[in-house]
Structure 1
Amino acid sequence: MENFLSLFDFFKSKIRYIFLIYTIFTIYMNSKNCFINYVLLIFLDVILIIYSFIFLNKKQKYPFLFIIISTIVYAFIWLFGHCDNIYYFIILDDIFEIKADFKKKLLVAIHSSAFMMVTLKNLIFKNYDLHEILSSIAYSIIIYMAILFVFIFIHKFKDERDKLKILNSNLIEYSFNEREFLLSEERNRISQELHDSIGHSLMALSMNIKYLKGIKNRSNINEELDNMDKVIKESVQTLRSTVYNLKKLDECCDLKKEVYDIIKKFNRLDIVKINFDCASDIEKSTTTIKNTLIKTIKEGITNSLKHGNPTEINVTLTLVNSYIKLIIQDNGVGCQNIKPSAGLNGIKKRIEALNGKVAFESKARKGFTIETEIPGGF
């Protein structure tokens, strides 16, 4: 079913234009004896082709108006042009793309009413008897309802699939925070350990100093100084050990392993295919840069799943003239007008904090691309 939907989405826009052009041919074949009728219908069909192209490629869309106009114009062409009605059913797919339930039902009512009007007109002018007319009407209704339920099923499946993808991507997004949470917990543990050990040592030193001020015996003073020196050395050792552990914690960043772990999570859920290509030298960059790249990849994948509905995402990390170039590209629905979400703004801030550059590119039905470039920091 998923493969069928992918093919359907790929060919949908092309099929639309193919059948509109085919309509011109059928009008010519069936109406060429009536020049005025022939010219008017072809003119309307060409207008519909141009209008469809403009609508499907412009930034701000009004699908309700587009469907109303398409339904009325093509019903008129079908009524007087004696052409096939295949394109008329393609409009049903546009109707089910609308999210508002009331508008969807209203458009289905208009679409089905126009269908029945054209069907009745064609039957009446064929001089059928009543039995033939009723049989043809029943047959037309059955065909229409069958096609209608096919589109209902397809879009119901797509809606459930999209909801599941968003739910799964949210779950994975939460799991993305696992590493940051564990690092935070470890830092808190080390900080508490530092507070307890150094704090206790400093308190002991303070008490020893007060004690020294109150004694007069030189031998006792030397003994206390030895104890204080021992406490100071232990504190310095504890401090060094803590700093080392914190440094080791920060340096524990394997970029490739992190990204492949991300990919495995998605592969287990069969949500999307992710391809990853990484230049080996990038592992030599600083921990800060690698952590930023990992967060950017996570956010980029999440953004694609939430808004693009892709089947494939390509993640590429290359090194160009000491600059690290990251490209995250999906094959989703894309958009004509990019409105940066909180996630995209977060990517922009993180990259720019490292003196890097970010670019977002997209076109309707041509996917979404995030391209970043930051100094390597080697």
Structure 2
Amino acid sequence: MIKNKNLLFALKILLLIILFLSALYFENAYRQRLIGLIVIFVLFLVNNISKYFLKDHNKLFLLFFLDILLIYMMESNSRLLINYFFHSFYIITFLEASLILPLKKGLIVGIITVIISMIKYGYLIYYKFNLSNVSQMVFFLTVNILILVIAAFAQHTKEEKEKKDVLYKKLLDTHKKLKEYTDELNRLSVIEERNRIARDIHDTLGHDMTALIMQLQMADHYSRSDLVKSAEMLNSSLKTARDSLSKIREVVETLRGKETSPELAIKTLADEFSKKTGSKIELKIEGEILKNHNINRAVYHILQEGMTNALRHGNASRIWIRLAYSNEDIKFSIRDNGQGALVLIEGFGLKGIRERVEAFGGKVEYRSQDGFIIDGFIPLETNSENLEGSLL
């Protein structure tokens, strides 16, 4: 591209020199007039060389007007009414302006160049009015206008192509960024899904394994005094193990089983946990449970982990659960009579509860007071427009 530009510039300078020498041949200029023409032409060449190195369109715009002035000065020093070699400089000038300058500025330079070039024809018709000279003027004017229109159209096409190239480049950059964002979103989605599955496995497996251990301990205890009761506990343990295996398979395969009502699912969770562990659970649900699978699923796992934590780490025998539904939020409280915690360290279970709550813009608080207490809420207003898009 640069080589082509240099070649065109060299050809233009060579053409100007040939045209000037040809004009001088017909001028028969001597001494002062010859020196004047040469000085003006040298200035014209210097101005053209300056244009080659300039990038600022405003400065180029001014230099083209200087070109027109110098050409007119050369014509004014000609002994002929019209020297067509000098006159051809006008065509080269407005053609170059139309191709280099923006469309509007190129048209301005072109129109002014055509007008200035017609001054000499005006003198010609004034001094020698005849059909031949009028025809020459009309022909030259028509050719100039035609060249100007073609050059303007070429510049318009060039600018449109440049705009399309810029838009295409932006489109490619946007596409590249979009692909990067998509890849990053896919990566984050995979991480979120892994975390969700990890929490579900922990909640399900931890909950059921805690119940299973309690049942096996009770079976071991009754094995020394009541074999029938011990066998019942072993059978119950076997059922718990099978249920756990079934739940784990559902989580790993990310399959959802038959949907039940949220209230029934929570009550069943509390009843089964109470039966399997022997702990007494008091469940209180206030308000109307909303139909939002994601939030209901999160609440389910929060209660599941809360009960498991009370038994596993607090050795609690009683657990009080309160759920309060309103139009603004869901408040939950899980309280037990266990040993509490002198120093609170969030393990995987408590961390999972916090992640589930904060995923919906809620807050949760842990404290030790006559046992262990988990208090929190999930706002509903911030999740009303995106009920299905939250992290589970």
TM-score, length of structure 2 as denominator length: 0.47
Larger radius of gyration: 2
Query: Whose RCO is larger (CA < 8 A, sep 6+)?
Result: 1
